Amino acid sequence: MKRLLPLIFALALAACGESATDSPATAPATDAPAPASTPAAEAPAPEATQPEAPAEDAVAAGTTDDAVETPADEAAPAEAVAETERPAPPVVDPARAPRLGADYEPLAEPMPTIGQGGIEVAEVFSYMCIHCANLQPLINTWKPKQPADVRFEYVPGVFGGVSDNFARAYYAAEAMNLVDKTHDDLFKAVLIERSFTNASPEEIADWYAGHGADREAFLSTMQSFAITAKLNRAKQFALRGGVDATPMIIVNGKYRAMATGDRGMQGLLDTVDWLVAHERAGSTP
């Protein structure tokens, strides 16, 4: 039976945070934000009076008294209409509200998202992290339920050594449209089946070849300039997001959400939903 080298175990522990198994945080729960009140409608401005025009002039001009009145909906400022259409921030049970400093933290400064469009939910993960593997089935259920304005991204952790090889493998699989077919299986191969002895690029390419990839094409893609650029971007994304454990989820470049021992992986996704709802409402938690 193949076994992992001590180096791989060491890197796995370094990449995979302890946050999911720590004792429950003692920070008090924050009160749920009150729903935004709908602004009162502005009083209509008094109608301007004008001298009456002779009847024959009105007919000649092709106008009537009704034609010169401004419809009420057109008179309302566009900003006021948009404000009334903005959804209210989420209301949750105070006992279950995400806790600042335990379940989530705002970033010191908003940072660029890893992709473009919508409200981004980006999971920084590692194939060597058991907590990431435990989160994955929940992600598979959660993603299809998201509305069209939510965009989910995987961001492989780039922590040096073997983790970089697996990060290259993820981006190569993405480039070759193999992520949906291989993502869950690679967690199993690394953490349960112990399929890798040294997790070299060649050994990883062998594994992907067994899952439908052209080995040489996959290996070449892993080592390409385009994949190296993606690795550098992923590394900067994690650094700017203050990622010090996996899994960690960055919401729209503004917040990092973490799993806790008392609320687990489902609690992490509940926190993400709450932060996404705040982003949609344009409110601050």
SS3 content of the chain, % helix, strand, coil (to 5): 45, 10, 45
Q: pLDDT-based confidence at 75, cuts 50/70/90?
A: very low
**In this structure, what CATH number is given to the domain that contains residue 238?**
3.40.30.10
37 assigned to some structural domain = no
pLDDT tens digit string along 77-134?
544 444 446 677 777 788 889 999 999 999 999 999 999 999 999 999 999 999 999 9
**Domain membership flag for residue 28:** no
How many CB atoms within 10 Å of residue 93?
Answer: 8
Q: Model's pTM, two decimal places? A: 0.73
Domain count, the chain: 1
Is the residue at 17 inside a domain?
yes
Whether residue 207 is contained in a domain is answered as yes
Q: Which domain holds residue 177?
A: 6-21+85-281
Q: Is the pLDDT of residue 55 over 60?
A: no
